[in-house]
Amino acid sequence: IRMPPASMAKMMTTHLAFRLIQQGQLRLDQKFTVKPETWAKWHGPQAGSTMFLSAGEQVSVENLLHGIVTLSGNDACVVLAEGVAGTEHAFTELMNAEAARLGMRDSQFGTSNGWPDEGRTYVTARDLVILARATIEQTPELYKRCYSTRSFTWGRTMGGDAIRQDNRNPILGRIEGADGLKTGHTKEAGYGFTGSAIQNGRRLVAVVAGLDSFNGRIEESVRFMDWGFKA
């Protein structure tokens, strides 16, 4: 069943960055500048989850990846996409080429962050599993480095306090061996999650989608993973 991925689309943005790093075309310490127009579009309550980047700020690829994976920053995705490919549109073409390479036959990406785009962006649960497995197996060190971070601090409040945000991953700390991956939520998609954990050398990847509450996502994700390891 095709469905909107919401922020689970960010798994592809991250996967692409990991591959480019692995191929030597991108470096973790490379810096991209936040364009004022990108900042203007992707800050404030109307812009969804954010890394709280500032206009004109220079941010390393590694920090942007933490902003995408841990904080689910819509702003971080677009800054990374523009830094890598020049425009977000050019980056989505890379996303679609990679989806084709991986055999994600029922997926299409129209944005780097999964923001609702009138149905142009869609995935299936099966394709999300293919993507998750590819990241875990093809770029294991980067997966380990970025995906199991419990919290990340970036940006400042109006009062000048550092902004710390927790990883929304519902199985981190609740399922033994949990180390990824990504939640998603929009009104049209409901609450979703692609998760992975490893116990006694056995790795499982699970996808839940279309749930109607934040807490429901936690309960279902934990229950599904727990069932998987016991089955």
| Residues known to be catalytic | 7, 10, 72
State the residue for tokens 């309550």: 45
DSSP-based three-state secondary structure for 23: coil
The answer to whether the CB of 111 falls within 8 A of the CB of 117 is: yes
Token pair recorded at residue 206: 């699970």
CB within 8 A of 158, min separation 6: which ones? none
Q: Is 83 exposed, middle or buried (0-12, 13-18, 19+ CB in 10 A)?
A: buried
Helices (H) and strands (E) in the chain, counts: 8, 7
| DSSP string covering 145-183 | HHHT--EEEEEE-TTS-EEEEE---TTTTTSTTEEEEEE
DSSP-based three-state secondary structure for 89: helix
Can you tell me the distance from the alpha carbon of 175 to that of 62, in angstroms, rounded to the nearest whole number? 26
Can you tell me the distance from the alpha carbon of 40 to that of 55, in angstroms, rounded to the nearest whole number? 8
Rg of the Cα trace of the chain? 16
Can you tell me the distance from the alpha carbon of 71 to that of 198, in angstroms, rounded to the nearest whole number? 23
